């Protein structure tokens, strides 16, 4: 079963409003893509580099919005994508 629902909490929307416009547009494109194509298809797009996280963030996933920004999400108990936070990554280890 695929997931087509995305929830962006108000606290995350406040962060998004402060982001550079091109980052907010890419995030919105991802949200729209999940709604139209499903999460399974969006995970296949290499530009977002969707990946599971480890350590204290086990159970969460991230997508790249640029080299410096990524969005962290998890799947809630109602099979909806729930954004946890949008973070800026300055010196990410590759």
What is the end-to-end Cα distance of the chain in Å, rounded? 32
Q: Average model confidence (pLDDT) for the chain?
A: 87
4: Cβ contacts below 8 Å, ≥ 6 apart: 34, 35, 36, 38, 39
Q: What's the length of the chain?
A: 94
The pLDDT value given to residue 94: 46
Residue 89 — very low, low, confident or very high, per pLDDT cuts 50/70/90? low
In angstroms, how far is CA 84 from the centroid of its own chain?
Answer: 8
> What is the tens place of the pLDDT at every residue in 34-73?
999 999 999 999 999 999 999 998 999 999 999 889 999 9
Q: Which domains does the chain carry? A: 6-88 (3.30.2310.20)
Q: What integer is the mean pLDDT of 2-15? A: 88
What are the tokens at 42? 């969006």
- Closest C-alpha to 30, from 87, 81, 84, 90: 81
Residue with the bigger pLDDT between 38 and 80: it is 38
């Amino acid at each position: 079963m695929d997931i087509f629902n995305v929830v962006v909490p108000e606290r995350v929307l406040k962060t998004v409003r402060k982001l550079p416009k091109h980052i907010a547009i890419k995030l919105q494109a991802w949200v729209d893509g999940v709604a139209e194509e499903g999460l399974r298809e969006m995970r296949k797009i290499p530009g977002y580099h969707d990946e599971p996280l480890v350590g204290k963030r086990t159970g969460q996933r991230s997508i790249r919005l640029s080299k410096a920004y990524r969005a962290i999400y998890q799947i809630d108990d109602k099979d909806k994508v729930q954004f946890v936070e949008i973070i800026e990554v300055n010196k990410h280890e590759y």
